[in-house]
Amino acid sequence: MNNVSTESAKHNAPSNPTIGPAPEGVPGGALAQKLGKQSLGKLIFLVALSVVLSSFTPFFMLAPTPLALAFLLFGPLKTAVVSVLFVAAVGVLIFQTGLSFVSAGVFFLSLLYGAVVFAIIKRQINPANAVLKYGIGLFGLIAGTAGIVVWSSGISIKTYLLEVVKTGIEEIKSNAEYAQLVAKGGEEIRALQDMLQDPNGIVRELLQWSPSVLFVTTVISLWISLFLILRNAAAWKMLRPYPFNIQALIDFKGPDWLLSVLIVGLALAAGGDYVAGEWLQVVGINLLYAVGVFYFFQGIGVFLALLTSLKIVGFFRSIVVVFTIFSAWKIVALVGLFDNWFNFRKFFKKNNEEGDIV
């Protein structure tokens, strides 16, 4: 348990019919020749696809994947140049049409994620280790940069959020659907009305839980990006040899020190308010959510192993996985936690012909 993944930490990736082991290394000259053969139109399409995904909230976590694929197929220089041109074009659109800066910010972060995924594969780092180490590093970089920007701007983040929340509340109240819901009544509607009457309370909640929300979003985005890239390794593995496959990512297992952080978080969440007030309790709960995302990954690995042992494959398997993730994610995280002591996978009958990963 000292390694992030006892099985996947091996340099040779476990067998998986969906994505086989990486090919032999490609010499530098041959790699440059193969990269040169790639179509510029394909590169533009991948970058443009990332721009589009960055503009739609339900799909923004998928935006790094096309850029990561572009880095792998075309190299960092061409991808960076085309991406900068797109950023400039988006910037012009923003200033001329008054569009939101959010999409441009998401695209910039997607470019960062794509570069990180490229670095992980180029350096041949175990993907399970990478999610832990690079996830924490990305969170520190994003949070630190955001802090510097806020501090240098001289704008109070609380004041800014309060204005945003008040504007959002006015938009909700002016919506015809909201008026219909209020007319129907009910306990949930009354609770919503009470919440909308207290914009300061909403801002306080946002500030309290923003660290864990940012951390979880950062790590999950990296995991999804790696998952999709490894899932489609056939598109790039001839150019970028990589000794791990998707099973190495699925076989995530948390290190011992993660349990120590969990214990500290539990202690602060349970008794922090008695020691130093509510703020210390909030720190503890944020720690629990941050650590919990890694045990969630571990629990997903156990759950997928269970589905494989039950020979649940295909589209039905995907439905079961998606439903479980959204409806029972806390249980999945608990399973991942207890897997450190019980090693649930050993109870599942090994199936040599594994089904779909998801």
Widest CA span in the chain: 71
Nearest alpha-carbon partner for 103 in 53, 163, 166: 53
- AA identity, residue 116: V
Q: How far is it, in rounded angstroms, from Cα 49 to Cα 29?
A: 30
Q: Can you spell out the DSSP letters for 144-201?
A: HHHHHHHHHHT--HHHHHHHHHHHHHHHHHT-HHHHHHHHH--HHHHHHHHHHT-HHH
Q: What is the pLDDT of residue 284?
A: 92
Task: Mention every residue, 6+ apart, whose C-beta is less than 8 A from residue 29.
Answer: none
Burial class of 15 by CB neighbour count within 10 A (0 to 12, 13 to 18, 19+): exposed
- AA identity, residue 44: I
Instruction: Show the tokens assigned to 148.
Output: 């510097």
Length of the chain, in residues: 358
Q: How far is it, in rounded angstroms, from Cα 156 to Cα 201?
A: 16
pTM: 0.81
Q: What is the pLDDT of residue 346?
A: 84
Instruction: Show the tokens assigned to 60.
Output: 């923004």
Q: What is the pLDDT of residue 181?
A: 77
- Domain ranges in the chain are 254-358
Q: How far apart are the first and last CA of the chain?
A: 25
Q: What is the pLDDT of residue 218?
A: 94
- Would you tell me how many other CB atoms lie within 10 Å of the CB of residue 274? 9
> Are the beta carbons of 45 and 36 closer than 8 angstroms?
no
Q: Can you spell out the DSSP letters for 218-273?
A: HHHHHHHHHHHHHHTGGGTTTTS--S--HHHHHT----HHHHHHHHHHHHHHHHHH
Q: Which regions in the chain score pLDDT beneath 70?
A: 1-38, 90-101, 349-358
Q: What is the pLDDT of residue 166?
A: 85
Cα dist. 347→67, 247, 298, 342, 343 in Å?
A: 39, 18, 16, 9, 8
Q: What is the pLDDT of residue 137?
A: 94
Q: What is the pLDDT of residue 30?
A: 53
SS3 354: coil
Q: What is the pLDDT of residue 275?
A: 75
> Are the beta carbons of 321 and 303 closer than 8 angstroms?
yes
Q: How far is it, in rounded angstroms, from Cα 108 to Cα 110?
A: 5
Instruction: Show the tokens assigned to 40.
Output: 């510029």
